[in-house]
Amino acid sequence: MSKTVTPYQDEKATKKEQVADMFNNISKTYDFLNHFMSLGIDIIWRKKAINELKADKPQLILDVATGTGDFAFEALKILKPKKIIGVDISQGMLNIADQKIAKRHLSDKFEVKLGDSEKLPFADNGFDAVTVAYGVRNFENLLDGLTDIHRVLKPGGKAVVLEFSKPKAFPVKQLYNFYFNYVTPGIGKLFSKDARAYSYLPESVAAFPDGPAFTAMMAKAGFTNTKSRPLAFGICSIYTGVK
């Protein structure tokens, strides 16, 4: 990553600590703003990413940076695994996930725990699949995070990463940049008590090494058969790799 982009201009706190604070601050409005600002398209993108695992039929899945659990809930519906474990550094987000799990009576299928995405609290070779939706650009050290994801996967297991990317074609690029840099922070400021969180979003996407740069990093972390699949003219991308 060319430079480290942090949510707050706090030199005393690490990116990891700042990201945890940011998600704790916006946890109550996160789901609403996510769907509102993406016009609900984020749900379609999630389904496409989850479908990358359909043929593999994973039974034990780790969802890294699980947040409020939306990606994992969708994976439960589509893939019907025995269990999904979600890990996140924000207790505020996990509290919302726990409420949803209880409401849906899914505690036997989905559990969440507080943990560092770059130092996962799990043994080697334990999971059939690992998923990360909109979380890798928040890693403090991207290569460390990918290497640890590789470590906890079983041999032959697959990682699926869904992340924002940077569209290149006119006029999508121009519209995307305008929406992300001006509209998104405005909506975030209106509905969230943490306006900075929604200006951090375009900054973190701009600094993220998307496309071939990210698949190259996955390969460096030990993954084989790495692929990048752009969605919606490159607004978002699905990355896959096998251990």
List Cα–Cα distances, 81 to 94, 134, 175, 193, in angstroms: 21, 22, 39, 37
Q: Is 224 a known ligand-binding residue?
A: no
Let me know: does 100 contact 73? Beta carbons within 8 Å: yes
The reply to whether 117 sits in an annotated binding site is yes
Rg, Å, the chain Cα set: 17
| 14 annotated as a binding-site residue | no
111 touches 80 (CB < 8 A): no
The answer to whether 116 is a known ligand-binding residue is yes
Nearest CA among 36, 60, 190, 53 for reference residue 133:
53
- 128's tokens: 């059939």
Spatial CB neighbours of 87, under 8 Å, sequence gap ≥ 6: 62, 63, 64, 65, 66, 112, 113, 114, 115, 117, 120, 121
Q: State the Cα–Cα distance between residues 43 and 45, nearest whole angstrom.
A: 5
Indicate the annotated binding residues for S-adenosyl-L-methionine.
68, 88, 116-117
Binding positions are 68, 88, 116-117
